[in-house]
Structure 1
Amino acid sequence: MIELTNVTKEFKSKKRKIVGVDNVSLTIDSGEVYGIVGYSGAGKSTLLRCMNILERPTSGEILIDGIDLLQLSGRKLREARQSIGMIFQGFYLVSSKTVYENVAFALKAAGVPDKKIRPRVNHLLELVGLTDRTNQYPSQLSGGQKQRVSIARALANNPKVLLCDEATSALDPNTTKSILALLKKINRELGLTIVIITHEMEVVKEICHRCAVMRDGRVIEQGSTYEIFSNPTEPLTKKFIETILDFQLPEQLLETITGKLVRLHFWGELAAEAIVSDVLQNFSVKGNILHGKVEYIRDVPLGIFVMEVNGEPRETEAAIDYLRERVSKVEVINNG
């Protein structure tokens, strides 16, 4: 569906050249939700704007459904852009127009006949849950309602792709969840390909099938969201994951540890198995769970627990070896 090949975007000033996107290649499958995560200045928003040529890349290829957008200009590029909807953190609604008029504006701009506009707008407002706000103005809406209007407007011309630039960053946690639920519904019911730019791993965890992590204009890690959460390889990715799965133990507690301290990772169905209790029954060791959590990444469980194992050295090593055979990943944090 979306293929980026060696995309680079450079910005030039009188004194120097700034590389916003540095040789990025990505493939985003049709119908998936793809997240691009990174801190401010990582280049993720610039990359997103390159996807619909709001920013024209310095070099590279951008194909959507096999069509290279960089080979288009004028009317053909405008027509191609109609298949790409976009929503922003700042909503960008016209304050002097009602909810209905804001959505209808996108259809009028595309040359849709007047008789087709009203049923289309009404359908979209029903889809985003705003049928009771049709005649209200943006100033009368909450942040979440404004974002729903912008989503309806972005969907007006039946796009194949929806680009979301920090679409939930200005919203409170509960409103963020409702907007993400709406995007999941749109993805499921319309089969829309969605690309989400964010610095919040909670958003990625909740909605994205796959994701990429960016730093300094480059993609440093990419894969399925579950793989990224369960087994990150880059230090920056691990730092992002820690915002969701933080297992730092207090120094005072660490000073009291006398046994082996291990971190256990349970992936998928293993998260529901009684492996720890089996260890305590089969080996002459005592176990103390100091920290633990089970998260669900797109409904698949991921469990991580920190456990102290006490016993005779031989039994302790045997117990840990048993865990290595049964658990997805075992990390020995200290030497005991």
Structure 2
Amino acid sequence: MISIEQLCKVYQTKDRKIIGVDNVTMTVEKGEIFGIVGYSGAGKSTLLRCINILERPTSGKVTLDGIDLLSLSPKELRTARQSIGMIFQGFHLAISKTVLENVAFALKASKVARAERKRRALELLDLVGLSDKANQYPAQLSGGQKQRVSIARALANNPKMLLCDEATSALDPNTTQSILKLLKKINRELGLTIVLITHEMEVVKEICNRCAVMEEGRIVEEGKTYDMFAHPQNALTKRFIQTVLDFNLPKELLERSKGTIVHMKFTGEIAGESVVSDLLQNYDVRGNILHGKVDYIQNKALGTFVIELTGEDKEVQQAIESVNEKVEVEVLPHDRSIHHSAAGAE
């Protein structure tokens, strides 16, 4: 487990102070995948580098499994860092070394014997699916393969935690998915705690048990990933979630519609029930489906559904009230463009 308490990082320039991290307190539990999301300049990379003291915090406390990292001597800190692996957006591979040598290099720094270095490096390359690339050089690899080498290298010293600094930002969508699957495999098979920073909420949705949203050096919202998607509280969180769950209804469609347009949000087990079908059967209304989608976050369903209801006003109102007992309902006006998500309107 890693605990961060009232962490601040301030940079002093000639003219002014720049606050990189502003009084952050959070805990990452052992064995979880924790995402930190924010736009460029939010302070997430600085926070990540403060966790392993690559950046020394101006104030605050960083504790790894009960050890106060800021209280350690330089030698003790170097030893403690062996418990924290790190991968980067830019891979940081030595171009003059083979794939095998890149992975083994981390072990050489820990004074592991040559034969054991080779054995361990080959074992890790097999774990990340690159056994056949051991004698190739980074220039011969794709971006996804380079990141797999970086992951293998970060695992060389059997770390307790893996820090991922925009690890998928330089990769195409298909390669990103393969790297996320690999990280989930490592988390599951090795019990490794993973802290992942990103500006892509899709990455958080795919892999993270919990997440935090950062803005201007502060954490503005934190919680379980499903809860954040289902019930976001902060305006920035809502904007991030819209990048994943967004749907647009054309203004012309809304203006042409004669009935009542209803946006419904389904969470948890209710997403699998026949709510809309029951509504149309039990009330004297007609339904025109305008949008429907179900996403799965941490294996739990989160659905959004937009339907135009027509019929007598009393029947429509009763139908809406009956549905509102089971799901979150919003009646949408006809005179505006819609940019809603499953999170609802801001």
TM-score range, shorter chain: over 0.9
Partner of 1:143: 143
Question: Which is worse superposed, 213-222 or 258-267?
Answer: 258-267
Once the two structures are superposed, the pairs formed by residues 52-91 of structure 1 within 5 Å of their partners are 52-91=52-91
Question: Which is worse superposed, 312-321 or 124-133?
Answer: 312-321
TM-score (norm 2): 0.95
Contact 1:262 1:334 in 2 (8 A): no
Partner of 1:332: 331
Contact 1:162 1:194 in 2 (8 A): yes
Contact 1:247 1:306 in 2 (8 A): no
Partner of 2:233: 233
SS in 2 for 1:135: coil
Partner of 1:164: 164
State how far apart, in whole Å, the 1-side matches of 2:288 and 2:50 are: 51
Partner of 2:285: 285
Structure 1 ranges of 4+ moved more than 4 A = none
Q: Measured at CA, do residues 335 and 175 of structure 1 come closer, stay the same or move farther in structure 2, by a change above 3 Å?
A: closer
Question: Which is worse superposed, 248-257 or 213-222?
Answer: 248-257
Partner of 1:273: 273
Q: 5+ unaligned residues in a row in structure 1: which ranges?
A: none
Residue identity over aligned pairs, in percent, reads: 66
Q: Please state how far the C-alpha of 1:309 moved relative to its aligned partner.
A: 1.7
State how far apart, in whole Å, the 2-side matches of 1:280 and 1:195 are: 46
TM-score (norm 1): 0.98
State how far apart, in whole Å, the 1-side matches of 2:22 and 2:230 are: 27
State the Cα RMSD in Å: 1.1
Paired letter, 1:334: P
State how far apart, in whole Å, the 2-side matches of 1:234 and 1:258 are: 34
Paired letter, 1:54: L
Partner of 1:25: 25
Q: 5+ unaligned residues in a row in structure 2: which ranges?
A: 336-346
Once the two structures are superposed, the pairs formed by residues 317-328 of structure 1 within 5 Å of their partners are 317-327=317-327
Q: Please state how far the C-alpha of 1:289 moved relative to its aligned partner.
A: 1.6
State how far apart, in whole Å, the 2-side matches of 1:309 and 1:71 are: 64
Q: Please state how far the C-alpha of 1:335 moved relative to its aligned partner.
A: 7.7
Q: Please state how far the C-alpha of 1:258 moved relative to its aligned partner.
A: 2.1
1:38 maps to 2:42: no
Question: Which is worse superposed, 160-169 or 304-313?
Answer: 304-313
Aligned length: 335
Contact 2:255 2:334 in 1 (8 A): no
Q: Please state how far the C-alpha of 1:14 moved relative to its aligned partner.
A: 0.9
Q: Please state how far the C-alpha of 1:180 moved relative to its aligned partner.
A: 0.4
Superimposed CA distance per residue, residues 155-187 of structure 1 (whole angstroms, 9 cap, x where no aligned partner): 000000000000000000110000000000000
